[in-house]
Structure 1
Amino acid sequence: MSYFGDSSSRDKSKNGLWLVLIALCIVLYLLLFPRALGKDSFLVPVKAVSMTSLPPESTTAYDKLFLVGQNTVALTKEGVPVFFRPARTLESVSGVNDAWYDETSDQTEVASASGPLFHLPGKQYPYWLGQRFYTFSNDRLGLTEYDLKGDRLWSKDRTSIITAVAAGPTLTVVGSLDGRITVYDKTGAMQGSFNPGGSQYPVIYNTAISPDEKHILLLSGMSPKRFLVLERGTNEFHPVFHQELSDQKPYPTPLGFLGGDRWAYFVSQQDLHLLNLKTDHEAVMPLQGQLKSLIYNSPLGLITSVTGGGSASILHVWSTSGRPLLFSPFQAQHVLLFQEGNRVILVADQTVLIMKRELQ
């Protein structure tokens, strides 16, 4: 009898624990999304996790590092948080790779999930782009690339301040205050240069290069400010699409590629522009506030984003034609979206919400 009695107590304890966990998920979800997502929401909540009780470091394996606001979070592939801590000085992350300046040792540390990779003397300005590691000089006139053993691959000193950098598997695109972009290969040899011109004040605000390195996107100039698409020819990149923007704010706004190089997106004023690079067809989606994060699901042709200002945020889902499919406000200042398979992971301040896509 005592055996069955103990077993029953354990079962009740386990059931109670599960009820507490389920209740916690519901509370966190309701705090994030005070309004229901709706029957045709496409996103169904699976799990909500608070990161406030997580350790600042952990020996548990993780697959991704992210900077969210002033904090660094490590997540598994499924979106489960492993550790959560304040961001380090000048920290830059990508995948499982990390780099920061250690004031105590006066060194720039470079590490991965498996441990330290190498360190550089003094205060560097580290910058990860995918699996490629760079440092800026203090005056942002110099750019250096290192391999993952700490060997210098190439270094360039420019005459104009570097304002934008993008990297593909073999190419690096560098934009500067004088309105010019320069393309370098993995040895630092120049593979092309382009100056959009046509603006009263030349500057490269932002740039991106497609995964196959066939296209480059640019936001450049003021009076007018312009969006350009460059295509790789036999010897150089040349413009194939150009659009003057009504937005004349002198700072960078988001741009990038979706679905490989099928789609290009950029933000102007309060609109998200989606350009089909095969047909030049453009869809325009109105935003409420700034674009905080954006992902694209290729099989379903869905764009999921978070927009807003301050702690007021909105979760959107659109089709690539610009048709709105979901609009759901929630409260979070610092947000991040990424996806793994049919799951969408939303990091919102100190909470992680894991959702799965379901077509109703």
Structure 2
Amino acid sequence: MAKETKKYWLILAAAVFFVYVFAAAQPIPVETILVSRWLTSLESNYPLNMGGSPPEAAQPLAFELGGRFGYVGDDGRFAINRLRKGYVSLSEDHWAEYDALPQGLQIMDPQDNMVLEIENPKGYPVFLDKKLFIIGAEQNSITALDSRGNELWTYDFPAPLTCIDAAAGFILVGTLDGTVELLNASGTQACLPFEPGGSRLSVILGCAISADASRLAIVSGIDDQRFLLLEQSGDTYHVVYHEFLTDGFRRAVYMAFIDSDNRVAFEREGGIGIYDILSRSSVNIPLDGEIAAIDGSGGDRLLFVVTSQSAVQKKLTAIRFPGTIIMEAPFKSKAAFLGRRGSKIYVGGDMSLASFELGKK
């Protein structure tokens, strides 16, 4: 009886989810379509198969949604599905849940196996570039650990960290005092610290590093706020583009290299900016509300974004490069999740997760 009740709930959730998400959706042009694959509930483990391609034996997808976190397989079944009781650091390979001042850490894998236990970490964990780091309790230091939890190195900063990214063995960090530092795999400076300046208040609100570490992207300052792109030249980096972002934000902003590192997406007041590295130009795509989730890849010349207009009103938007909105699908949800792996899109609202596949009609 319990199994039948869960199946009934799932079918009902599917109906509600699709009414909210896709009743108002416009078809993606140029013969590109979204094919429904499955829908599942966070309160069950009985995915409803909607068609599409058969599941692959892929690494489970990490998710956080509606006070829960875990990993879901390509078939819609959960490898882990937990209520969040504290803070969570989550990556494709590892996760850890911890208190504000953890006395110890258990590093887990997507199969819920403990792979490492750390006593008295003196901070909290972050997973970057498939490596484990500890951000100090005062948020002004970073420590690299090896696979056994041994300390490799520690680097202290003169001010609290405000953003961090890593790739190709390098760690890019922005601080509250408006400084950007790039560290190498040994924990030493890869180049001299950079201070963008040019604003009334100096602070780094966003930073991103390309996959080969040849480019750095930064959002800095308050009054005026700027987007900057730096490129490597020998053993240093030079600004090759900058743009003022009008009013800007007084909080951390989303930014990432996308489209095989040919573009940078960054949150800006009233929407999202997309900088084209080849043409050295930026476009501003107006969006309603604040960015709640973004796919982070930009593959197939498409970028998917979820925005939040209110506590319960969300919108899924598809953008075709260089900057044309080709789909908008409003839905009601307090929480939202968006993930992507190649041609597969994963969308979550409240207690439901759905999978779609980009296809050709």
Pick the TM interval, shorter chain.
0.7 to 0.9
Closer, same or farther: CA 24–140 of 1 in aligned 2, 3 Å: same
Closer, same or farther: CA 357–230 of 1 in aligned 2, 3 Å: same
Structure ID, larger Rg: 1
Closer, same or farther: CA 267–106 of 1 in aligned 2, 3 Å: closer
1:29 has 2:17 as partner: yes
1:135 paired residue number: 134
1:50 has 2:41 as partner: yes
Q: Quick one: percent identity of the two aligned structures?
A: 22
Q: Residue 33 of structure 1: CA displacement?
A: 2.1
Answer yes or no: is the 8 Å Cα contact 1:143–1:156 preserved in 2.
Answer: yes
3-state SS in 2 of match to 1:164: strand
Q: Residue 137 of structure 1: CA displacement?
A: 1.4
Structure-2 separation of matches of 1:298 and 1:203 = 28
Closer, same or farther: CA 312–105 of 1 in aligned 2, 3 Å: closer
Structure-2 separation of matches of 1:102 and 1:243 = 39
1:3 paired residue number: none
Deviations 1:85-124 (A, max 9, x none): 2224232010030123379993111122352222222363
Structure-2 separation of matches of 1:184 and 1:164 = 14
1:178 paired residue number: 177
Deviations 1:139-186 (A, max 9, x none): 111211112221212101222111111111210011111111111111
In the alignment, residue 331 of structure 2 is paired with which amino acid?
A: F
Q: How many residue pairs are counted as aligned between the two chains?
A: 340
More displaced 10-residue stretch of structure 1: 244-253 or 80-89: 80-89
Structure-2 separation of matches of 1:34 and 1:276 = 30
Deviations 1:237-274 (A, max 9, x none): 11111111102431122111112210001121112111
Q: Residue 125 of structure 1: CA displacement?
A: 1.1
Unmatched tracts of structure 1, length 5 or more: 1-15, 56-60
Structure-1 separation of matches of 2:130 and 2:16 = 34
Q: Residue 297 of structure 1: CA displacement?
A: 6.4
In the alignment, residue 15 of structure 2 is paired with which amino acid?
A: V
In the alignment, residue 113 of structure 1 is paired with which amino acid?
A: P
- TM-score when normalising by structure 2: 0.85
1:64 paired residue number: 61
1:349 paired residue number: 350
Answer yes or no: is the 8 Å Cα contact 1:92–1:128 preserved in 2.
Answer: yes
Answer yes or no: is the 8 Å Cα contact 1:77–1:340 preserved in 2.
Answer: no
Answer yes or no: is the 8 Å Cα contact 1:64–1:94 preserved in 2.
Answer: no
Answer yes or no: is the 8 Å Cα contact 2:80–2:110 preserved in 1.
Answer: no
Answer yes or no: is the 8 Å Cα contact 1:108–1:124 preserved in 2.
Answer: no
Structure-1 separation of matches of 2:240 and 2:101 = 50
1:277 paired residue number: 277
In the alignment, residue 275 of structure 2 is paired with which amino acid?
A: L
Q: Residue 35 of structure 1: CA displacement?
A: 1.6
2:109 paired residue number: 112
Structure-1 separation of matches of 2:223 and 2:299 = 39
More displaced 10-residue stretch of structure 1: 94-103 or 310-319: 94-103
RMSD: 2.8
Alignment of 1:329-340 (within 5 A): 329-340=330-341
3-state SS in 2 of match to 1:33: helix
Answer yes or no: is the 8 Å Cα contact 2:25–2:330 preserved in 1.
Answer: no
- TM-score when normalising by structure 1: 0.86
Structure-2 separation of matches of 1:103 and 1:266 = 29
Answer yes or no: is the 8 Å Cα contact 1:65–1:97 preserved in 2.
Answer: no
Residue 94 of structure 2: which of 88, 94, 97 is its match? 97
2:82 paired residue number: 85
More displaced 10-residue stretch of structure 1: 320-329 or 39-48: 39-48
Q: Residue 279 of structure 1: CA displacement?
A: 1.0
Closer, same or farther: CA 99–83 of 1 in aligned 2, 3 Å: closer
In the alignment, residue 358 of structure 1 is paired with which amino acid?
A: G
Deviations 1:31-81 (A, max 9, x none): 5426253454722323211111359xxxxx962322235321311145543
In the alignment, residue 40 of structure 2 is paired with which amino acid?
A: V
2:288 paired residue number: 288
Structure-1 separation of matches of 2:279 and 2:100 = 51
Structure-1 separation of matches of 2:208 and 2:101 = 35
1:217 has 2:208 as partner: no
